[in-house]
């Protein structure tokens, strides 16, 4: 049992218990995330894991205090922290792999269609629900399969197909109604 | 319903995505973890998914987190637990306790040895024991020594100098 309140009070035994629990979770996340970027040596994984622990306790345990057990499980949060620590490390080292990695893509990149000079579509921003937009993004921007998209959203594949169908139908209906089509130069 | 990708659907989908506008700042790990665990309400879920639709970085974090969580844990080298155990957490409390917290921070303790021994039993004598002696100290841990030295800087101050990890953003 992890005693987070004890950790926040500065209790060493509680911290020891936290380290025993968090160590394997963080290390696994860090090592595997580093491996995805071509970094396989154990000493780097050790150092990055330690960096994450330092982040947790730094500044009066500021980061650890942000954990909210009512919002997420501790392993999930730690896994994301470990992965972030690994990505930070990769960026600092400026490995060549970063340049070709999807993480180097700017936030909200313009989809390819925006570069098409002959035709574009004007659609209202709220035409689709957030989930419908996400499904279209997964399928058409990221080229994921239906199965991969379902895994990403933790839903059944049929749900993905249904959301895609609804979203595309909404767009077609909008276009059929005369709205949205604009000829470019 | 076919899974094949229709090119006109793709163009229309991208136009709809573009119409939604920019994704905004990246989500923090707590928000992402909450989403991954399915503990978000409908309003928060909409907000997260609206962001994910336009943010490849956060989307990648969610996908990789799910993948990582599906895999077995790995017992870390003993040195990892020993070094982390040596970080004594020090809460920032009121002014009256400030002196205590500054003196106490980061000091290695006897309890760390308990961690060392306990985990040693779990990890066995191979991997952990061999790696424990060869552990490389990071700059940040050197900073702890500075902080512990008589008249030395406060640990947090030393960390501020050395710690260049971005605190904000998802990665």
> Could you give phi then psi for residue A148, rounded to 5 degrees?
-65, -40
pLDDT tens sequence across B99-115: 333 333 333 333 333 33
Closest chain B residue by Cα to residue A128: B16
Instruction: Tally C-beta pairs within 8 A across A and B.
Output: 302
Smallest CA–CA separation between B99 and chain A, in Å? 13
C-alpha span between A163 and B171 (Å, rounded): 29
Query: What residues of chain A lie within 8 A of the CB of B38, using their CB?
Result: 154
What pLDDT is attached to residue A24? 93
For B171, half-sphere exposure in the C-beta direction (CA atoms, 13 angstrom radius) is 26
Instruction: Please state, rounded to an integer, the average pLDDT across all residues of chain B.
Output: 62
3-class secondary structure, A124: coil
Of A26, A54, A72, the CB nearest to B33: A72
Give the H or E element holding residue A119: strand A119-121
3-class secondary structure, A181: strand
A184 touching B, CB under 8 A? no
A173 touching B, CB under 8 A? no
Low-confidence ranges of chain B (pLDDT < 70): 1-5, 92-171
C-alpha dihedral (B72, B75, B76, B78), degrees to nearest 10: 180
pLDDT along chain A (185 residues), means of 10: 90 93 94 93 94 94 94 96 95 64 44 39 83 94 94 95 93 74 46
What pLDDT is attached to residue A120? 57
Query: What residues of chain A lie within 8 A of the CB of B75, using their CB?
Result: 24, 27
> Do A52 and A82 form a contact (C-beta atoms < 8 A)?
yes
B60 touching A, CB under 8 A? yes
By 3-state DSSP, what share of chain B in percent is helix, strand and coil, each rounded to 5?
A: 60, 0, 40
What pLDDT is attached to residue A13? 93
What pLDDT is attached to residue B149? 32
A182 touching B, CB under 8 A? no
What pLDDT is attached to residue A106? 43
**What pTM was computed for the model?**
0.69
What pLDDT is attached to residue B71? 84
What pLDDT is attached to residue A48? 96
ipTM, two decimals, is: 0.81
B residues 77-106 near A, CB within 8 Å?
Answer: 77, 79-81, 83-85, 87-92, 101, 104
């Amino acid at each position: 049992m992890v005693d987070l309140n004890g950790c926040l009070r500065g209790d060493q035994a509680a911290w020891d218990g936290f380290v025993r629990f968090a160590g394997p979770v963080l290390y696994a996340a860090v090592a595997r995330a580093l491996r995805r970027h071509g970094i396989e040596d154990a000493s780097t994984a050790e150092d990055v894991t330690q960096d994450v622990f330092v982040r947790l306790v730094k500044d009066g345990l500021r980061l650890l205090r942000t954990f909210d057990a009512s919002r997420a499980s501790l392993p999930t949060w730690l896994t994301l922290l470990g992965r972030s620590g690994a990505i930070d490390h990769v960026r600092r080292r400026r490995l060549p792999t970063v340049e070709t990695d999807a993480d180097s893509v700017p936030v909200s990149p313009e989809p390819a269609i925006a570069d098409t000079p002959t035709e574009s579509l004007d659609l209202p921003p709220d035409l689709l629900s957030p989930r419908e937009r996400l499904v279209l993004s997964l399928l058409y921007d990221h080229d994921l399969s239906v199965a991969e998209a379902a895994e990403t959203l933790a839903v059944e594949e049929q749900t993905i197909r249904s959301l895609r169908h609804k979203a595309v139908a909404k767009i077609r209906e909008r276009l059929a109604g005369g709205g949205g089509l604009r000829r470019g130069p | 319903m076919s899974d094949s990708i229709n090119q006109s659907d793709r163009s229309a989908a991208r136009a709809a995505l573009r119409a939604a506008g920019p994704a905004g700042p990246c989500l923090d790990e707590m928000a992402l973890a909450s989403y991954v665990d399915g503990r978000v309400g409908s309003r928060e879920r909409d907000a997260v998914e609206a962001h994910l639709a336009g943010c490849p970085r956060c989307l990648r974090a969610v996908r990789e987190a799910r993948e990582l969580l599906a895999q077995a844990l790995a017992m870390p080298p003993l040195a990892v637990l020993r070094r982390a155990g040596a970080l004594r957490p020090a809460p920032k409390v009121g002014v009256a306790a400030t002196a205590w917290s500054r003196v106490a921070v980061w000091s290695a303790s006897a309890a760390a040895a308990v961690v060392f021994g306990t985990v040693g039993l779990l990890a066995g004598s191979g991997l952990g024991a061999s790696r424990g002696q060869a552990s490389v100290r990071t700059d940040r841990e050197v900073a702890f020594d500075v902080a512990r030295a008589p008249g030395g800087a406060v640990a947090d101050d030393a960390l501020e100098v050395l710690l260049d990890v971005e605190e904000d953003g998802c990665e």
